Amino acid sequence: MIAKYLMSRRAFVAAAAATTLAACSGGGRGSSEEQGNGKKGGDGMTQKAPTPINPLVQQRADAQIFRHTDGNYYMTASVPEYDRLIIRRSPTLAGLGTAEEVVVWHRPTEGKMGGHIWAPELHEIDGRWYMYFAAGNAGQRPGDVFEIRTYVLQGPSGDAFKGEWSVLGELETPWDSFNLDSTVFEHKGVRYICWAQREPGIDTNSNLYLAPLKTPTTLGAEPLRLTVPTLPWEIRGFKVAEAPAFLARNGKVFLTYSASATDPATALAC
């Protein structure tokens, strides 16, 4: 659903998972017709929502799409310039393709977070908006482009498109090492965060970790290591487990993730 561009890490895999989540969530407050991507017309007949066209949005990758309780679909994604964070919203998935795009933050021109900006995720926590994203520093050598950490942007309460956004801080993990792809979800009254990180002493590019979230930037307990890429389909090109996505169905919790390289060897698992 999302067009792929150079250096996109998970343009296809994450977009597919996010779009599936958005389509299946049924999180809106509307009628069953609205939740089924349709609404009653003036003649009382159910009108189908527009069909999404592939690619849904040009030149966007690492996409996250979800349906909010206000009935709208929200989207954020990486941009080809790797220099800003954006959001869109629309009452239909197809509408995201032409929806207004708002820039909520630009990277600084130098220093910390002045490098590549990747893989944002938008979340509403206790009525306030937050965005988790990965950032490198300005002035890094070309080979150091993957020296990135996760940061949290704090936005307004209420309408995500109104009010100021500012950097709240860096996500505090046990190790000062490559990490990205943080996703936040709530299960049985506990808010969790899941992310990908390189753990010192383990010969992989990244593993997946899970922990309760105390504040938007701090963990509430020691993290649990969920998976280490060791299977043949997880280590093609690189030893990678990344891009976790939370799914809940019939009281069960699932996490999808992507593995291996960022070319056709990429695999999706649950």
Read out DSSP for 169-231? Answer: EE---SSSS-EEEEEEEEETTEEEEEEEEPPTTS-SSBEEEEEEEEETTEESSPPEEEE---S
Query: Does residue 42 register a pLDDT over 90?
Result: no
Q: At 39, is the pLDDT very low, low, confident or very high (cuts 50, 70, 90)?
A: low
Q: Hey, which residues are catalytic here?
A: 62, 242
For the ranges 23-27, 65-69, 141-145, the lowest mean pLDDT is seen at 23-27
**Per-residue confidence (pLDDT) for residue 45, from 0 to 100:** 57
Could you report the per-residue pLDDT of 196-212, keeping only the tens digit for each? Answer: 999 999 999 999 999 99
* Arithmetic mean of pLDDT, 143-164: 93
List the chain domain ranges: 1-170, 184-270
Nearest in space to 135 (alpha carbons), one of 78, 58, 183, 88: 78
% of the chain beyond a pLDDT of 90: 70
**Per-residue confidence (pLDDT) for residue 6, from 0 to 100:** 33
Q: How far apart are the first and last CA of the chain?
A: 20
Q: What is the pTM of this model?
A: 0.83
% of the chain beyond a pLDDT of 70: 83
**Per-residue confidence (pLDDT) for residue 251, from 0 to 100:** 85
Task: Return the DSSP state at 85.
Answer: E
Q: At 154, is the pLDDT very low, low, confident or very high (cuts 50, 70, 90)?
A: very high
Q: Which CATH number fits domain 1-170: 3.40.1280.10, 2.40.50.140, 2.115.10.20, 3.10.50.40?
A: 2.115.10.20
Query: Does residue 12 register a pLDDT over 60?
Result: no
**Per-residue confidence (pLDDT) for residue 81, from 0 to 100:** 96
Query: Does residue 93 register a pLDDT over 90?
Result: yes
* DSSP bridge pairs for 150: 134
Handedness of CA 60, 61, 62, 68 (dihedral sign): positive
Q: Are 52 and 93 in contact (CB under 8 A)?
A: yes
**Per-residue confidence (pLDDT) for residue 269, from 0 to 100:** 86
Q: Are 223 and 209 in contact (CB under 8 A)?
A: yes
